[in-house]
Amino acid sequence: MISEGKFKEVFGHGQRMTKEYLNSADGLTKRRKVQEFLRTIEGMQSYGKLCEAIGTSDFSYLLTADMNAQLLAMQKSVDVSYPLWTRQIRVNDFKSTPLPALEAPIRRLQERGENEGLGKTYLGESNFTIQAKNYADSLELTRQAIINDALGVFNSVPEVFSRAAAQTAEYLATSKIAIAAGADTALFPTDDSHGNYTTNELSVSSVIAAANKMAIQTDASGNPLNIQPKGIMVPPALKWKAAEIIDALTLERYDLSSEVGYKTSGNNPVAGLEIAVNTQIPVVSASNTYKNKQWYLYGDPVANRPTVAFATLNSAPTPRIFRKAPDAQVLGGAMDQYSYEMSTIGYKVEWDIGAAQIDYRCMVANVPTS
């Protein structure tokens, strides 16, 4: 058992746990020790002992600072696909931010005579907008739940919030390329008028067909853009099938045009494409019977005009955890860690993000109908 005297011995009697001190080398060491003590056999009862030993309202900062660090570390470990197929940008505020894009048609140089003037190409302009909004959630832990916490649920708060934040970003980005019935028809009309829609199931031949559609996309003057595929975005149900297709170095097939049963082999033309597993495809396209077969081929969102842009705030580019300030004080002692009315500890997470559709030409949607 860790005694109250041990806490006072480690954290001192006179050192005030200010923000400046907690960011110092010694303060960082103490913050790590807080987490170590909270994982001892005493469970969350040690939380109360720490509050009593330190005797300052800065204790909430001490805990939350470490929680934010854990949140960011855990968020990086959550598998999300949107950074692979969206253009990441920063905005300054919550207002609708214009994203002007020049239309620069490429044409051949014009032959001219000795006394002829220059030909002129005029740039057009497309206007897009994106807007960051605040997304948040909260949870409260009761005093009884914390005292009874034998499995360390309190210590999983950053993990719960990190997964929630990552899932929210993934859902937001996915909702720009998908709707309940399948692919978003604004980007991918089902009549294929944009030249980027098929009903093919995932296979080597369908990936090649989608890549060909991408390659013949044209600019405003009708010149092919020759966009090259960067990766395949699939729902979880197609993860291993995609890996099987992409990882194969060679292919064997029957050449029916020359001789029935004549087997040929050659290099896999789609080997090496990256795989983006998007857990939110079947969530967004919930009413699509074949949502677990829905997949996308995408080009490089940085080298080309992206299909989707994803924005974060300059002032707060990452999710953050907040702790509700205590509003009760033990008579003759320090602030109580629990709320006065309900005996709870409250936390919230928030993130300022936004997403917008940009250009349909850098992605091909494939929505099987059977």
Within a domain: residue 166? no
Beta-bridged to residue 320, according to DSSP, are 350
pTM recorded for the entire structure: 0.76
pLDDT at position 41 over 50: no
Domain count, the chain: 1
* Domain containing residue 42: 1-56
Within a domain: residue 137? no
Predicted pLDDT at 24: 65
Percentages of the chain per state (helix, strand, coil), in multiples of 5: 30, 25, 40
pLDDT classification of 40: cutoffs 50, 70, 90: low
Predicted pLDDT at 266: 65
pLDDT classification of 260: cutoffs 50, 70, 90: low
Within a domain: residue 101? no
**Alpha helices in the chain, H assignment, sequence order:** 4-11, 19-22, 25-38, 45-54, 59-77, 82-85, 143-147, 157-174, 204-215, 239-247, 281-284
Predicted pLDDT at 239: 96
Task: Name the token pair of 158.
Answer: 């950053």
Within a domain: residue 50? yes
Residues contacting residue 243 through CB under 8 Å, at least 6 positions apart: 275
Predicted pLDDT at 181: 97
Within a domain: residue 52? yes
- In three-state secondary structure terms, 313 is strand
Within a domain: residue 262? no
CB atoms within 10 A of CB 32: 12
Within a domain: residue 28? yes
pLDDT classification of 157: cutoffs 50, 70, 90: confident
Within a domain: residue 30? yes
Rank 1-5, 95-99, 115-119, 327-331 by mean pLDDT and report only the highest. 95-99
Predicted pLDDT at 223: 83
